Structure 1
Amino acid sequence: MDKVILGKTGLEVNKNGFGALPIQRVSKKEAVYLLQKAFYNGINYFDTARAYSDSEEKMGAAFKYTRDMIIISTKSAAQTGEDMEKDLEESLRNLQTDYIDIYQFHNPAFCPRPGDGTGLYEAALRAKEAGKIRHIGITNHRIAVAKEAVETGLYETMQFPFSYLAAEQDVEIVEMCRRENMGFIAMKGLAGGLINDSACAYAYMNQPQFSHVAPIWGIQRESELDEFLSYQVCPPTLSGELQDKIEKDKKELTGDFCRGCGYCMPCPAGIEINNCARMSLMLRRAPSEAWLTEEWQAKMKKIEDCLHCGKCMNKCPYGLNTPDLLAKNYEDYKTFI
C-alpha cells in the first residue's frame, strides 16, 4: 500500500485519500458505511469542508470512536478571522473531535498573510497554539495565489487541482511544493468527471516524480470506493493501454474547457454554468441519455437568457470566456435533441 508524507507536517497518508464532498448527496447511513469501509480497508486520510453541507456531520458520526487513527482536513471560506473562528468551532462540533489535523483556507481570492487586515492567518495561528488545529493549509484554483502561498512559507499544505490533464503551470505548482517540502494534496484527480478511467488517473499519480502527491478521490458510491481500494492491492501501471488512453484524453481535453469547479456560480440569469459550459464533453464521455432529459433541455435553454454581464468570467480561476463556452455548448447540444 503506497504512502505519502505530507511535507513538513510529517503526516503519513495513504495514496488513496477520501474526498468527502460527494457524501453530502447520500443518506447518513450510506455515508457512514462508505467512510468506515474506507477506513477498515486502509484509507486513513479524509478531506471535507464547512461548505459541504452535512459532510462534516457524517464524518463525525463515522469516526467518533476511531478519531485518533485517522487524519482529517477541513476548510473555511471565511473572509475574516472572527468568522473563521466560528467556522472552526462548528467543524469541531460536527466532526465530534477537539482538533483538526489540517485546517485549510478554502480557495481564497488572495493569499492570507499576517497583517493583511483580515485577521485570517492570525486566527489560524491562535487556533494552532490552542491545539484546535495542528497544521495550517490552503486550497486554491488560481495559479498566482497558489504560487504566492508556496513562496511565503506560511503554509504546510497546498490543495490544488491536479490530474493528467494538468497544464505545465499546474505541474510547476506540484514541483514547487516538492522543493519547499510542502504537502501537496491533489483535488479533482478525475478532472471533475471528465476523466472516466480511474485506473489511468491513479497510475499517473503513482509515478515516481509524484511520490509526494496525495490524491483525494471524490467518492459517493461503493463501486467507486471499491475501484480505488483494488488499486492498493494491484496498482495499475502507466504503460500500454493506459498510456494510450491518457494521450487520447490529452488531445481531446487539454485547452480551454470548463473544469466544473463552480466558482463562477451563482449566475444572475440562473444558468447552471458549471455543467452547461462543458456539456459537449459530458455528452461524449458519458451515456448521453442522462443529459438529454426534459430537465436538462430546460437548463440548457436558459443559456439564451445570458446577460453577458461578465461576472462569471471575472470569477473563473482559469480565465475562461464563459459566455462564449456556454454559447458553443448550447449550439452543439441542440444537435443531440
Structure 2
Amino acid sequence: MQTVTLGRSGLVVPKNGFGALPIQRIGEQEAVHLIHKALDGGMYYFDTARFYTDSEQKLGMALRGRRHKAVISTKTGATDAAGFWRDLETSLRLLQTDYVDLYQFHNPAFCPKPDDGSGLYEAMQQAVDQGKVLHVGITNHRLAVASEAIDSGLYETLQFPFSYLASDKEQALVERCRKANIGYIAMKALSGGLITHAATAYAYLAQYPHVEPIWGIQKESELDEFLSFQDNPPVLNDEMRQRIARDRAELTGDFCRGCGYCQPCTVGIEIQDCNRMSLFLKRAPYSVYLTEAFRQKMEVINQCVDCGLCKTRCPYGLDIPTLLRRNYDDFQEHWGRRHELRAEQNSPRS
C-alpha cells in the first residue's frame, strides 16, 4: 500500500485519505458502515471539521474502540482564542478522543501567527503543550495566505485545493511545500465533481509522493473505487493524458471550484450548483441537469440584488453575480433546445 509522510509532522498516512465532509449528508448507520469498511481496507486517515455539522459525531461513533488505528485531522474556523477552545473541546467530545492527530485552522482570512492579536496561534500551542493536539496545520483557498503560512515556518501541513486542473501558481505551491518539508494535503482532488474519472485524478496525484489527496466519500461505490486503487494503483497513461488535456482546455479560467465559502446567499441562490451549471452541461450525461428541480434553482438567480457579499467571500476573486447570469443564460439555451427537440419528436408526422 502506498503511503505519504506529511512533512516534518512525521505522520504516515495511506495515499488515500477519507474526506468526511459528505457523511453529514447520510444516515448514522450508513456513515459508520463506510468508516468501518474504510478502516478495514487500510484507509485510516480521516479528515473532518467542526464546520461539517455531524461529521465528527459520526466519525467518533465509528472509531469507538478503534481510535488507535486511525489518524484524525479536524479543523476550527474560530477567529479568537475563546472560539478556538470551544471548537477543540467540542471536537474532542464528539470524536470521543482526548487528542487530535492534526488540528488545522480552517480557511482563515489571514495566517495566524504569534502576537498577531487574535490569540489563535498561542491557543494552538497551549493545546499542543497539553497533548490535545499532536500536530499543527492550516487549510486555505487563498494563494496569498497559503504562501504566508509556508514562509512562516509555523505549520507542519498545508491543506489546499489541488488537482490536474491546478494553475501554475498552485503547482508551485506544492513544490514549495516539498522543499520546506511541509505536508501537503490535497483537497478538491476531483475539483468539486468537475473531474469525473477518479482513476485519472489518482494517477495524476500519484506523481507527487509527498501529496496526500483526500477524497470526499458519501457512497459505498465511491469508497470501493478508492480502496481498489490501493491494491492496484492507476498509472498515468496516454489515454489519461489526453483526458487531462481535454479537461484543462475546457475547465480553466474563471470557473467556480465549488468551495462554498460564498454562501449563504441573501436571496437564497444555491451558488455552488448554479455557478457551475455551464460546466456541468458540457459533461456527459448533461441531461441529468435539465430537470424541473434544477430549472427552479436557476430561476432564483433572477432575484439577485447585486449586494456583492458573495464576491467579498470568494477566495478566488470571482465576479459571482456576472458568472451566475452567464450560467443562467447557458442553462436557458440548453433548456429551450431540449424542449424544442422534444416537441419535434412528439409532433404528428404527415
**Do both proteins adopt the same fold according to a TM-score greater than 0.5, normalized to the shorter chain?**
yes
* TM alignment of 1:306-317, pairs within 5 A: 306-317=304-315
Q: Distance in 1 between matches of 2:85 and 2:25?
A: 27
Match of 2:340?
none
Q: Distance in 1 between matches of 2:108 and 2:277?
A: 27
In structure 2, which of residues 224, 235, 253 is the aligned counterpart of residue 226 of structure 1? 224
* TM alignment of 1:1-337, pairs within 5 A: 1-207=1-207, 210-337=208-335
1:305-328 superposed Cα distances (whole Å, 9 cap, x missing partner): 111122211211111111111111
1:159-191 superposed Cα distances (whole Å, 9 cap, x missing partner): 000000000110111111101100100000000
| Greater gyration radius | 2
SS at match of 1:285: coil
Q: CA deviation at 1:291?
A: 2.2
Match of 2:344?
none
Q: CA deviation at 1:269?
A: 2.0
| 2:255 aligned partner, one-letter code | F
| 2:193 aligned partner, one-letter code | G
1:61-94 superposed Cα distances (whole Å, 9 cap, x missing partner): 1111111111000001011111110000000010
SS at match of 1:136: strand
Q: Distance in 2 between matches of 1:9 and 1:41?
A: 24
1:123-146 superposed Cα distances (whole Å, 9 cap, x missing partner): 111111000000111000000000
Q: Distance in 1 between matches of 2:195 and 2:212?
A: 18
Q: CA deviation at 1:25?
A: 0.5
| 1:336 aligned partner, one-letter code | H
With 288-297 and 181-190 compared, the bigger mean Cα shift is at 288-297
With 132-141 and 281-290 compared, the bigger mean Cα shift is at 281-290
Q: Distance in 2 between matches of 1:289 and 1:226?
A: 26
SS at match of 2:334: coil
Q: CA deviation at 1:286?
A: 4.8
Q: Distance in 1 between matches of 2:245 and 2:290?
A: 29
Q: Distance in 2 between matches of 1:128 and 1:12?
A: 19
1:110-130 superposed Cα distances (whole Å, 9 cap, x missing partner): 001111111111111111100
TM-score normalised by length of structure 2: 0.94
| 2:137 aligned partner, one-letter code | G
Q: CA RMSD in A?
A: 0.9
1:26-49 superposed Cα distances (whole Å, 9 cap, x missing partner): 111110110110110111210000
Q: Distance in 2 between matches of 1:251 and 1:284?
A: 12
With 315-324 and 161-170 compared, the bigger mean Cα shift is at 315-324
With 87-96 and 278-287 compared, the bigger mean Cα shift is at 278-287
With 280-289 and 55-64 compared, the bigger mean Cα shift is at 280-289
Q: CA deviation at 1:103?
A: 0.3
Specify every segment of 5 or more residues in structure 2 that has no aligned partner in the other structure, as ranges. Answer: 336-350
Q: Distance in 1 between matches of 2:239 and 2:192?
A: 22
With 100-109 and 260-269 compared, the bigger mean Cα shift is at 260-269
Q: Distance in 1 between matches of 2:210 and 2:284?
A: 32
